[in-house]
Chains A and B, each alone.
Chain A
């Protein structure tokens, strides 16, 4: 009744009725308010008020607000929501309104357009990609690493390889060290893997915009390529949302059951360690390590213990942040916030909860398993001059493997 009726009379086009998942179920309990890390950053807005506005037909007001772009879709506010609402889904719906009205942040829009055209958000074509990757691998060969001949050659478009590895564009643009780390990981473990010269972007920016059609299209391409290559494992790099979509949403979106396994590289590392493929000495890294649960990998997918088991094994001193696991506090850079240049450095100001949480542990190293978290945590580290190193779980695993080799060598 009511508002929509009036709205329609008053502002025909601007009133938007969206249909976010069970938003009407909200009973205004308010638990979400106190769990949102934007609580002090946006004193006049909070998750409950946002839901309330949307439920009362004022979604447009929210679509025009900055809040929806500051939200990292971390979903912490609605973890064990009494009515099972999912804040990340709601925000994506609201962003969808802005997206269709061409009000999305420029950098994200550009990324999505490039993704549509090139299949990746940096606009790199296949040839350039293969060249870049090979160059990165060649650089590695100059390092003093003991590996069988050819171990560092990067396999492309190999059919019937066991693993099809999909990287994050950071690995061949801003953060090439990460790719080198993964390449070493594959080399040390002797994995039977391949990359694709056609599909090489794990990210899914349309997902951030509530752009379901384009989001599905990207997934479709990745799934088709997996089948095309005949891989048994579709392996996600350390990327939160990319992995989460593949693991949790993809089958529903495409309405099919996959005949291959979706794994994250951290899960693969854990598996290899359990199988004895990777041998690591207990406490080999003489560091106090803590683990940051990426929202997508942890809270949304439920990968909590694998990375911890690995870290507890290699670290001489593992400490937990509080709260952790399902209730982990977001790094502040997820959900497109890290890529959104319009937000400036606000993401660092909003992340003080994470900063304090890290500092309270007194750890030397913060490990995580999402490159977006990694980038944000690195920025946080320099912004607040935190006396910690930020490392990915795989980085630490590779570091541990190399230390083992070194020690073996010395003996």
Chain B
């Protein structure tokens, strides 16, 4: 059968949000053009590692491979090293196209577009801003992303100290829920990511000790029982309270002063993993200027209303994924699917209520 419609949607960003949006649109007979700033597709998800132990931990990393494979069946146009230059509207104000500038090319290319989906994701917080965590200064202090690289490279032994007594700690809410660094919100992904990583470490190295220092574990809901259950079963220590300072003790080991079982104590660690929060991507502010989509107090894109999280005040412009609010991969897939759904409804011309 011929293509079902002649509609085309331009998607800015090729992370899991952009690709998921594209996939659902294509499955519904709508063409998609994906515009990616960098030279590789896949966004943050590409840099993640699989967290499976003897079983899948639903980290959703491989969703990226699945969605990319699914997209191979459709004629999706990928424009890498390209950015949105401007939007083209007709006299009635309806979105008709976008201009895309590609690096190395002087002229911005105009692409007909019936809808524009902003899927530019997030940036991770740079924890070196809070000096006392010692990121960048102390060997052994790393971020979740650094840990993922090690896991992905199958270099788990690099984390150990050569003995069986390796101790690893995760610090939650690094750059999240923190007014002092301008992020008074929960980044939504880090508790689950840290728990999964911790379970993975424990399953590969059962003799290591792994602790997670948290403020409030955000794992209620569908996955709570299995994830928390696995963490508890595997002997991961869950400690309320996140140390605010890491230093080298007299043995040149990473040390933190904490409260343990109601008493102040000092603990040493070989590696400390900072679960860094999500920040609006640098593209967000620029795209806000270009598209007219506002930013909220935290610097993420503002949706039309809270009950309509994927549409914006700009006609034809939609949001998907972490550029509207911080979220994990699983929620991003759900959110991007909802964005695609709104686009499908709106392009079908059938009025959608509520």
Contacts and interface: CB of A to CB of B under 8 A. Distances in A.
A–B interface present (Cβ within 8 A): yes
Interface of A: 27-36, 39-40, 42-46, 48-49, 77, 80-84, 323, 326-327
A84 B240 contact: no
A84 B180 CA distance: 7
A243 to B, nearest CB: 24
B245 A46 contact: no
A30 B265 CA distance: 13
Contacts of B244: 29-35, 77
9 contacts: A27-B215, A30-B213, A31-B244, A34-B243, A34-B244, A40-B264, A44-B262, A46-B259, A48-B241
A49 B264 CA distance: 11
A29 B186 CA distance: 13
Given A29-B215, A323-B131, A35 B245 contact: yes
Interface of B: 130-132, 173, 177-181, 213, 215-216, 240-245, 256-259, 262-266
Contact of A82 (B177, B216, B241, B263): B177
Contacts of B181: 80
Contacts of A46: 259, 264
A42 B243 CA distance: 17
Contacts of A33: 241, 243-244, 257-259, 264
B131 A327 contact: yes
Contacts of B131: 323, 326-327
A27 B256 CA distance: 20
A29 B184 CA distance: 13
A45 B264 CA distance: 7
Contact of B240 (A30, A77, A326, A327): A30
Given A29-B173, A46-B264, A327-B131, A39 B242 contact: no
Contacts of A327: 131-132
A369 B264 CA distance: 32
Given A80-B130, A84-B180, A31 B263 contact: no
A30 B243 contact: yes
Contacts of A49: 259
B154 to A, nearest CB: 33
Contacts of A28: 215, 240-241
A32 B259 CA distance: 11
Contacts of B265: 43
A323 B178 CA distance: 21
B179 A83 contact: yes
Contacts of B216: 27
Contacts of B256: 34
Contacts of A36: 257
Given A43-B263, A81-B180, A30 B241 contact: yes
B132 A48 contact: no
A45 to B, nearest CB: 8
A318 B178 CA distance: 35
Nearest to A38: B264
Given A33-B258, A35-B244, A27 B177 contact: yes
B263 A29 contact: no
Contacts of B258: 30, 33-34
Nearest to B173: A29
Contacts of A42: 264
Nearest to B133: A31
Contacts of A40: 257, 264, 266
A80 B259 contact: no
A45 B181 CA distance: 27
B180 A80 contact: yes
A43 B261 CA distance: 11
Contacts of A31: 242-245
A32 to B, nearest CB: 6
Contacts of B213: 30
Contacts of A83: 179
Contact of A30 (B130, B215, B263, B266): B215
Nearest to A31: B244
Contacts of A326: 131
Nearest to B177: A82
Nearest to B244: A31
B126 to A, nearest CB: 14
Contacts of A80: 130, 178, 180-181
